[in-house]
Structure 1
Amino acid sequence: MITVKELFSKKELKTFVKFPFKLYKDSPYWVPPIIKQELETFNKDKNPIFKDAEARYFLAYKNNEIVGRIAAIINWLEVKDQNQKKMRFGWFDFIDDQEVSAALLAEVERIGKENNLEYTEGPVGFSNLDKVGVMTEGFDSIAPMVTWYNHPYYVKHYEALAYKIEKEYSESKFPFENVKPEFFKKAQELIKRRYQLTALKFTKTSEVMPYTDKMFDLFNESYSSLSSFVAITDIQKEYFKKKFISFVNPEYIKFVVDKNDDLVGFAIVMPAFAKALQKANGKLFPFGFKHILKAKKKSKDVIFYLIGIHPSYQNKGVHAVIFNEYYETFTELGIKTCYRTPELEDNEAIHKIWKHFFPVVYKRRKTFRKNLK
């Protein structure tokens, strides 16, 4: 018999966070989160998303043993401002037992119906900067820290419970040697002159900070047309600054500004932290931080985390300016492989940007939906 328990205390939430450590203890591809950071994500006093969202957390038990978990999420900005009557769910992990996954999703569906929502979708996080999607291909490669990993059996559970595919994502990679400067070197010089643009270079995180609010504003503008997009609020900007920017090498952040110093394009690349996080095994201290710091300084693999171009400058070649900056930086640092985070299959604009680098899709993932009415 399966029993489901709702969680309330910090101790219970820590158990929630640590469940996948047991579920994936034998996997060479699963990447553990930092436990402290994961708990802060769920902390209403620390994560400003809770000003506009709410979440409830559940663990499933079988024979007094934890066998699954799920977070039931409502983003009220999405529901009220965008009229998307969506019940979100994420952090959904379970043993290969249909009764377990069914019992957990039943809690999500119940909460959705109680709030007069029209459908569930997951796995997703609170916002567009959270992890997304259940993996459907690519189980034999390590997961970047910005994505979820899961066992292959997850997908059949969604299908058996009448969940339908809602969105499809792909993750690709390419060797840096595929990047040929002739595709953008001359073009970027012409574009900078024509539109009076300047590429900014950073060597210190403190130099980046004056531009971060503008970056998040541009992120909101450039991604607003995509399905499922929920804008980042002002208070969330401050949170993400502290959470993300310090992890990123300042030389991996590229901004392009116009003659008025207004931001027209940006990109954020992160070192590949996955193997360092595996060594850290959920803890920053005493040795985890050392592994992460080493990866930040020495990793020869990088992940393109975000790239955004102002709508009025899209299709004008601004990405060529950004790629030229990265080409110079990565050549100097001896970067070997470039990875991309999950991108919507129907985002044709982003796929065109990368085509000259001949990327290979190595993972696919999907979100699933079920109507509640």
Structure 2
Amino acid sequence: MTRNNVEIREVTDGQSLKEFIRVPYAIFKDDPNYIPPLEMERMDILSRDKNPYFEHAEACYWLASRNGETIGRISAQLDQLVQKYHGEKTGHFGFFDCINDQSVADALLETAENWLRERGAEKVIGPFSLSINEETGMLVDGFDTPPSLMMAHSRPYYESLVKNHGFEKVKDVWAYWLDISQDILPPAVDKLVKRTFNSDKVTIRPIDMKNYDRDLATILDIFNDAWSDNWGFIPFTDNELKQVAKDMKLLIRPDFTYIAEMDGEPQAMMVTLPNLNELIRDLNGKLFPTGIFKLLWRLKLHPRYKTVRVPLMGVRKKYQNGMIGGAMAFSLIETCRIHATAAGCTHAELGWVLEENTRLQKMLETIGCAHYKTYRLFVRDL
């Protein structure tokens, strides 16, 4: 399809998929904060044969070019679980990157919208790459720092491109930054934590790597319960749980990942991961031939990262509004902080957090977290 001298091509094979993955390299070539993701990891996420997301969803990818030069990309997704859990015929778009040209953005967005409309979608929300459990939202504030692991990066003009096309804001999610090199618990919170744990009812234990699959399944079960009332929530399927367990195993550290138990039953959890983006910054997305050895050296043999990210944290719903739930959450944060600083880390990103989740925002701000990035989701009726 050609519109306003913009050619839109569907991604149909491995070669065009590689081209799709590499589009941001040119878009961000003069942005010092852009970090190319690992191409192998992107290929696996976008592969219909490898990503269990496609057991309940379908997607299509397109490239935009002009005069033979690739200048943009986009995806469209239709997930059966969205309608199952939210009763909405809602499609998603994602992987939106393009030059600062409204005609290019319009051609890409219109192509995604037409594909979704043909499949019965009544509105479109995005960007999600590919789902709400992966990269969520478009960066609209916080361009002056690089993205952390599993978080998106955008050009400041992206927001104008989608709004000029007719999209409106539907939701913001926030990321927080925390200096973990110093004590973070206020005296009153520290007293609450100590009183709770002196009762012997609540204990915190690290993930057991000998029973890794079992413990990670427990962590994700807590996540599914803790987040189930949140806007846009979609639970992990069994096969997605298995894939997450496989994907995260290289990054998981038992001294960074904890489960809180109440009378021996798991009720809260926190996963802190090395900020992989800090370690792959100079690899230009490639693990081979030498990148894999550099990564393993930096990650396992001679760890040198200074930042970590907390992508998963949750307390089961029955404890969320009580003193014990708060004590478990603060204790998990402090336990992870102590061990992360012992490993040489100095800062952590926590998030994302929904803009209306004032309870969690207040808790994070109590320990000194600063809201430093905002990711926006947009909606348009079809």
Distance 2:212 2:193 in 1: 22
Establish whether residue 266 from structure 1 lines up as the match of residue 276 from structure 2: no
Unpaired runs of 5+ residues, structure 1, are none
Contact 1:87 1:108 in 2 (8 A): no
Match of 1:211 among 202, 215, 238: 215
Match of 2:205 among 180, 192, 200: 200
Which has the higher mean CA deviation after the structures are superposed, 242-251 or 4-13? 242-251
Deviation readout 1:146-173 (Å, 9 max, x if unpaired): 1111111111101211110011122221
Contact 2:181 2:345 in 1 (8 A): no
Distance 1:180 1:26 in 2: 37
Contact 2:270 2:333 in 1 (8 A): no
Measured after TM superposition, the shift of residue 303 of structure 1 is 1.2
Q: Which amino acid aligns with 1:305?
A: P
Q: Which amino acid aligns with 2:44?
A: E
Measured after TM superposition, the shift of residue 321 of structure 1 is 2.2
Contact 1:199 1:322 in 2 (8 A): yes
Contact 1:183 1:356 in 2 (8 A): no
Q: Which amino acid aligns with 2:196?
A: I
Contact 1:171 1:362 in 2 (8 A): yes
Find the counterpart in structure 1 of residue 370 from structure 2.
Answer: 360
Unpaired runs of 5+ residues, structure 2, are none
Q: Secondary structure at 1:279's aligned position in 2?
A: coil
Measured after TM superposition, the shift of residue 294 of structure 1 is 4.5
Q: Which amino acid aligns with 1:15?
A: E
Which has the higher mean CA deviation after the structures are superposed, 1-10 or 17-26? 17-26
1:331-350 alignment to 2 at 5 Å?
A: 331-350=341-360
Establish whether residue 306 from structure 1 lines up as the match of residue 316 from structure 2: no
Q: Secondary structure at 1:146's aligned position in 2?
A: coil
Q: Secondary structure at 1:251's aligned position in 2?
A: coil
Identity %: 25
Measured after TM superposition, the shift of residue 291 of structure 1 is 3.8
Contact 1:178 1:358 in 2 (8 A): no
Establish whether residue 151 from structure 1 lines up as the match of residue 155 from structure 2: yes
Contact 2:278 2:307 in 1 (8 A): no
Match of 1:106 among 110, 114, 132: 110
Q: Which amino acid aligns with 1:136?
A: V
Distance 1:193 1:120 in 2: 50
Q: Which amino acid aligns with 1:217?
A: D
Match of 1:293 among 278, 286, 296: 296
Change beyond 3 A, Cα 1:66–1:91: same
Q: Which amino acid aligns with 2:110?
A: A
Find the counterpart in structure 1 of residue 258 from structure 2.
Answer: 254
1:88-99 alignment to 2 at 5 Å?
A: 88-99=92-103
Which has the higher mean CA deviation after the structures are superposed, 32-41 or 16-25? 16-25
Q: Secondary structure at 2:255's aligned position in 1?
A: helix
Change beyond 3 A, Cα 1:195–1:370: farther
1:1-373 alignment to 2 at 5 Å?
A: 1-181=5-185, 182-194=187-199, 196-202=201-207, 205-260=209-264, 262-296=265-299, 297-314=303-320, 315=322, 316=324, 317-372=327-382
Q: Which amino acid aligns with 2:240?
A: Q
Let me know the Cα RMSD of the aligned residues.
1.8
Contact 2:149 2:309 in 1 (8 A): no
Q: Which amino acid aligns with 2:193?
A: Q
> Which runs of structure 1 show a deviation greater than 6 angstroms over 4 or more consecutive aligned residues?
none
Distance 2:308 2:14 in 1: 34
Q: Which amino acid aligns with 2:71?
A: V
Q: Which amino acid aligns with 1:279?
A: D
Distance 1:117 1:167 in 2: 19
Measured after TM superposition, the shift of residue 351 of structure 1 is 0.8
Contact 1:55 1:73 in 2 (8 A): yes
Distance 2:368 2:217 in 1: 33
Distance 1:62 1:282 in 2: 25
Measured after TM superposition, the shift of residue 301 of structure 1 is 1.4
Measured after TM superposition, the shift of residue 93 of structure 1 is 0.4
Measured after TM superposition, the shift of residue 184 of structure 1 is 4.1
- TM-score, normalised to structure 1, is 0.94
Distance 1:206 1:17 in 2: 36
Deviation readout 1:285-337 (Å, 9 max, x if unpaired): 23323443344322121112110101112132211221231233134223211
Measured after TM superposition, the shift of residue 109 of structure 1 is 1.1
Change beyond 3 A, Cα 1:298–1:336: same
Contact 1:75 1:126 in 2 (8 A): no
Distance 2:123 2:338 in 1: 47
Measured after TM superposition, the shift of residue 205 of structure 1 is 3.4
Which has the higher mean CA deviation after the structures are superposed, 51-60 or 344-353? 344-353
Q: Secondary structure at 1:71's aligned position in 2?
A: strand
Contact 1:59 1:66 in 2 (8 A): yes
Q: Which amino acid aligns with 1:49?
A: Y
